[in-house]
Amino acid sequence: MTLEALNATSEGTMVAHLGIVYTRLGDDLLEATMPVDARTHQPFGLLHGGASAALAETLGSMAGYLTTRDGQCVVGTELNATHHRAVSQGTVRGVCQPLHLGRQSQSWEIVIFDEQGRRCCTSRLSTAVLG
């Protein structure tokens, strides 16, 4: 799958509404960016933890889907996120890598960085492989 095709899957979804764009697709990683703006701010002008969680779940679920065979799909079963640093503007970058790729379950680590390359959030997503 190409980045263009991957980004086309977001049309008309929350992923597109939040401005999430896939930027790098590798053998063992998937990256995306998300703006830190009115769409992703909490009331005090900082990146909303839920927006970070949405970026993490988006990356992990799509990365999981990319590892499946025809007729299979991936659903998230558990997400946790530890927020390390506040971000008030600019763009954040999420980097997703597999921790475990089983036949029925997967675990993904998603790290979110600010524009200076500082770790802002570390997430782990567990997924179930269906079909």
Residue 107: predicted pLDDT: 98
**What tokens appear for 8 in the block?**
């086309």
Residue 24: predicted pLDDT: 98
Q: What is the pLDDT of residues 42-90, one digit of tens each?
A: 999 999 999 999 999 999 999 999 999 889 999 999 999 999 999 999 9
Contact (CB, 8 A) for 63 and 72: no
Give me the mean pLDDT over the 27-34 stretch.
96
For residues 1 and 65, what is the distance between their CA atoms, to the nearest angstrom? 11
10: domain CATH number is 3.10.129.10
The DSSP bridge partners found for residue 75 are 128
| Known catalytic residue at 4 | no
How many domains, in total, are found in the chain?
Answer: 1
Domain limits at 124?
A: 3-130
Q: What is the pLDDT of residues 80-116, one digit of tens each?
A: 999 999 999 999 999 999 999 999 999 999 999 999 9
- Give me the catalytic one of 31, 57, 78, 115: 57
Residue 9: predicted pLDDT: 96
